[in-house]
Amino acid sequence: MTGGWFEEKERVLSDINITPLVDVSLVLLIIFMITAPMMVQGADVRLPRTQRMDSLPETLLIVSVTADGRALINGEAVPFEDLEARLSPLIRPGRTVLFHGDERIDYGTVMKVIAVLESLQADIGLVTEPLPQSR
């Protein structure tokens, strides 16, 4: 019994069917094209442009904390215990106070100063140095 239907069934199909692979790839591509715009977070905000201030106004109130933990009000040293009492007559609600904190002070010290400023209802501005421009 040679050449019958039994031998035809045993032949191996040597072609690779890539149609399912293409179908899956296209479905994944469509899914990513639809979901990618949804993953962008944030709002479209156009920020105002201003010129940089070269000097600060004389009436500005600056509270600083140095690396060794000393508190200063407009350059004058003040003990931490007296900080609220010394700032109280200088701050009216809504007055902006700039806080200069050395990067080496601990977070607890920063929060103590901010708590004092918040208790006096001051608007707090945290001052940082700009990052160096890369060329």
**pLDDT tens digits, 63-106:** 888 888 889 898 888 998 999 999 999 888 878 898 888 888 88
What token pair was written down for 73? 């009000």
Rg, C-alpha atoms of the chain: 34
Closest CA to 67 of 16, 43, 102, 33: 102
How much is the pLDDT for 9? 63
Topology classification of domain 61-126 = Nucleotidyltransferase; domain 5 (3.30.420)
